[in-house]
Amino acid sequence: MSLRLLITGATGQVGWHLQRTLAPLGQVMAIDVEQVDLTDLEALFRTVRDFAPDVVANAAAYTAVDKAESEPELARALNVNAPARIAEECARRGALMIHYSTDYVYDGSKSGPYEEDDATGPLNVYGQTKLEGDQAIAARGCASIILRTTWVYDIRGKNFLRTVLRLAREREELRMVGDQIGAPTWARGLAEATTIILAKCCERRANAGTWPSGIFHLTGGGKTSWAGFAQAILEDYDSLVSWPAEMGEFGGQLKAKRVVAITSDQYQTPARRPLNSVLSNAKVESTFGIVMPDWRSQLRLAMQDAIR
């Protein structure tokens, strides 16, 4: 079965990879703000209606966590109103909506990994708008796969990996938060897992006549702190840069060799973050057979892609 697939957020970390991983499943149309302003709900509606997709992968979002505190209306427009409009059109035409959500819908007070049915309690505007987006999609009644993930990074775009490498070229030592725990998730691994999930959704639709729906956690395996993540980046970079490497962003030596862990109180930000962002992948494993690689092995693969 060849699908018609619409991807939003085409130039974002996940959307960029989705264009490549989803291509074997059918005809892909990828849009970003240059093609469609997602705050213009009628333009968004017309785009979905005119392309008539079987599946919409909504990888677009307002993700500037701290800035959202001063731009709640824009965050809500992109994280709530736009997904709700897409969901309405998906419901009308019987299409499946794949949507990406976040660990920030939880308050981080749980001692162990979060399950999908645990109580939510966002600590910031970003988390609140993402939760409202999840709820708005469910309320529209379309078939939907909502994937909550954590600490997404890539070798392109604006993210923690590239920030660490930039700072490590400027400083002898890095100070990073050590009391917030989560699972770094490579954007490409997330896109590849999404493609497997979609293929299995197609099988179930062919057998049962309907798309499956639900909220699922999908993150890198294991856990670490931001400080631990940063230290791993430095270690992998140093071990790989001895390869023949271009002298660019991912070439040459770093000044910083160690990371000092600090507390959240020592690094004040406009938006509060959950201390525990670890999500259980048990449901996505049992439902779709997806076993996500450990975050450390994902990081090394990402670094290998960057350093040539």
For residue 126, indicate whether it is catalytic.
Answer: yes
In a domain, 11, yes or no: yes
In a domain, 243, yes or no: no
pLDDT by residue, tens only, the chain of 308 residues: 689 999 999 999 999 999 999 999 999 999 988 888 889 899 999 999 999 999 999 999 999 999 999 999 999 999 999 999 999 999 999 999 999 999 999 999 999 999 999 999 999 999 999 999 999 999 999 999 999 999 999 998 889 999 999 999 999 999 999 999 999 999 999 999 999 999 999 999 999 889 999 999 999 999 999 999 999 999 998 888 765 555 566 777 888 989 999 999 999 999 999 999 999 999 999 999 999 999 999 999 999 888 76
Please give the pLDDT value at position 1: 61
In a domain, 171, yes or no: no
In a domain, 142, yes or no: yes
In a domain, 33, yes or no: yes
Place of tokens 């631990």: 228
In a domain, 229, yes or no: no
DSSP 8-state assignment for residue 120: P
Q: What is the CATH number of the domain that holds 53?
A: 3.40.50.720
In a domain, 179, yes or no: no
Range of the domain at 120: 3-155+185-220+278-292
CA distance 68 to 302: 29
| Three-state secondary structure call for residue 39 | coil
Please give the pLDDT value at position 69: 97
| Candidates 100, 104, 106, 126; catalytic one | 126
Contacts of 176 (CB under 8 A, 6+ apart): 164, 225, 226, 227, 229, 230, 259, 260, 261, 262
Look at the pTM and tell me if it is higher than 0.75: yes
Considering its fold, how many domains does the chain have in total? 1
In a domain, 266, yes or no: no
CA distance 214 to 231: 35
Torsion of CA 259, 264, 267, 271, to 10 degrees: 130
Please give the pLDDT value at position 246: 59
Torsions phi, psi of 53, nearest 5? -75, 155
CA distance 157 to 125: 22
